[in-house]
Amino acid sequence: MPNEAPAAASADVDYAGLLQEEQASLQAQLKELGFGNQGDTGLSYDSNFADSSQVTAERGEAERLATELRDSLDEVDAALERLSAGTYGTCEACGNPIVAARLEAMPAARFCIADAAKQ
């Protein structure tokens, strides 16, 4: 690839809006799973549920999913912080701008494509 990356964050794109949308969607999914409160450890299930192994398996699945959702939420929060700090759209590994197409597809991206592939 020639080193002619287009300018990073495109002025035409409302990254804050995209991030807030994603944030709201992740929070809604967590709520649906019963992990609505941020900072909650997620172990708020009624202990009566623990009788059935099927329920235990489902709970494990829900917790795994909730962990993924929380990780994504952390990424989105971090991206919003970078946005307000003015460092949004810069690769955290190499410091080069992240191409606009990547940010549009993945507004919470913290690495350029090359560095993301190395992670």
Interface positions with Zn ion (CB under 5 A): 91, 93-94, 112, 115
Query: Would you say 62 or 93 has its CB closer to Zn ion?
Result: 93
Query: Would you say 24 or 94 has its CB closer to Zn ion?
Result: 94
Nearest to 89 by CA among 23, 21, 26, 18: 18
Q: Within 13 Å, how many C-alpha atoms sit on residue 103's CB side?
A: 28
Task: For the CB of residue 45, give the shortest distance to Zn ion in the complex, in Å.
Answer: 41
Backbone angles phi, psi at 97, to 5 degrees: -65, 145
Task: For the CB of residue 2, give the shortest distance to Zn ion in the complex, in Å.
Answer: 16
Task: For the CB of residue 115, give the shortest distance to Zn ion in the complex, in Å.
Answer: 3
